[in-house]
Amino acid sequence: EFEMFLFFLLCLTPFSADKVEIIRENGKSIVHLLGNVVIEDENTRITCSEASLNQTENYVVLIQDVKIVDENGEIKSNFAVYYFKEKKGYLRDSVFLITTDQIISSDSLYYNGIEEMVEMFNNVKIEDRKNNLIGYSNRGWYDLKEDEGHLVDAPRLEIIRENKEPIDVRAREFQLISNSNTFYGFDSVVAIVDSITIYCDTFSYNLKTENGTMIKPVILEKNNELKGETGQFSMRNNGIESLSVQKGWSKYYTDEGSKNIVEGDTITIIFHDGKASRIIVEGEPRGVLSLKRKVEDAGD
């Protein structure tokens, strides 16, 4: 009877292992596979150190050095439950999902191979190798078909720069769109670029064109301040090239210590070597200049 069952099982789900045990549990036959386990169906290949295969329910429990490979990429973990028919799996303990451009890791992960979706929990990390972008959070989703991800629960992003500290961006939620090389940050956004800190409601950035937009930005650079209803910025050579706001207000200090306050429909600040070098006000410009008083020598 067991030989007939094993033959039937092999026809349905081809597998190999160093040792095979078949056990009857509650009227069901469970196949235990031990050592160098390989399980394959038409589009999926699974390897691990130990597995328990429930052919009746069409799922398998996988233990240690788990690797699941299908058309979406490769998933690694130390524990998994995988359903063949639904192409769904739950994985935990050092989970890594590797695709052509992404490496996704987390403490645990739900995988839906048919819908090509993953949901990640705790210590989530997404490495976009194409765009030199790394995202961190405690929870996230990723659409493998659309190459689009979402990060929530204390998320932050790092834009990797050569020979410079990464650009650090924090928000309540991030949307990552790898195909268009773009990400969006929503609600309570804080972006730090060298000595410049940007606060805004919504933040977007294209990692290829190096241009971004902001809604309700407040931008600080040492004692200088720039704010407006909307804004844009551009990067060059891994640093800020220009910042521009609409319906703007700015306070800035000259090298001599004089304070200037300007308003206008559009305010643009041009940077050189990481420092503001020029300010342009367009559309009904208004301003106040406060000259620094010269302090006379006490002996004069």
Contacts of 143 (CB under 8 A, 6+ apart): 116, 117, 149
Neighbours of 226 (CB within 10 A): 26
- Are the CB atoms for 138 and 177 separated by under 8 Å? no
The low-confidence residues of the chain, meaning pLDDT below 50, are 1-12, 295-300
Write down the residue that tokens 């090298």 correspond to. Answer: 255
pLDDT of residue 293: 54
Neighbours of 173 (CB within 10 A): 17
pLDDT of residue 2: 40
DSSP collapsed to 3 states, 160-224: EECCEEEEEEECCEEEEECCCCEEEEEEEEEEEECCEEEEEEEEEEECCCCEEEEECCEEEECCE
Of 187, 186, 188, 96, residue with least CA distance to 142: 96
Give the integer Cα–Cα distance in Å for 233 and 264: 17
* Residue range(s) occupied by CATH 2.60.450.10 in the chain: 1-95
First to last CA, the chain: 113
7: which 2 tokens?
């033959």
Of 181, 188, 116, residue with least CA distance to 152: 188
Give the integer Cα–Cα distance in Å for 167 and 43: 40
Give the integer Cα–Cα distance in Å for 294 and 300: 13
Give the integer Cα–Cα distance in Å for 62 and 81: 6
pLDDT of residue 14: 79
For residue 239, the Cα-to-chain-centroid distance in whole angstroms is 21
Q: Model confidence over 51-75: pLDDT tens digits?
A: 998 877 888 999 999 999 988 899 9
CATH class of 1-95: mainly beta
- Are the CB atoms for 71 and 54 separated by under 8 Å? no
56: which 2 tokens?
């009746």
pLDDT of residue 13: 67
pLDDT of residue 292: 59
Q: What's the farthest any 2 CA atoms get from each other in the chain?
A: 113
Assign 3-state DSSP to the chain and report helix, strand, coil percentages, each to 5. Answer: 5, 70, 25
Q: Model confidence over 274-292: pLDDT tens digits?
A: 777 788 999 887 776 665 5
pLDDT of residue 84: 82
Q: How many residues does the chain have?
A: 300
pLDDT of residue 296: 46
Single-letter amino acid, residue 62: L
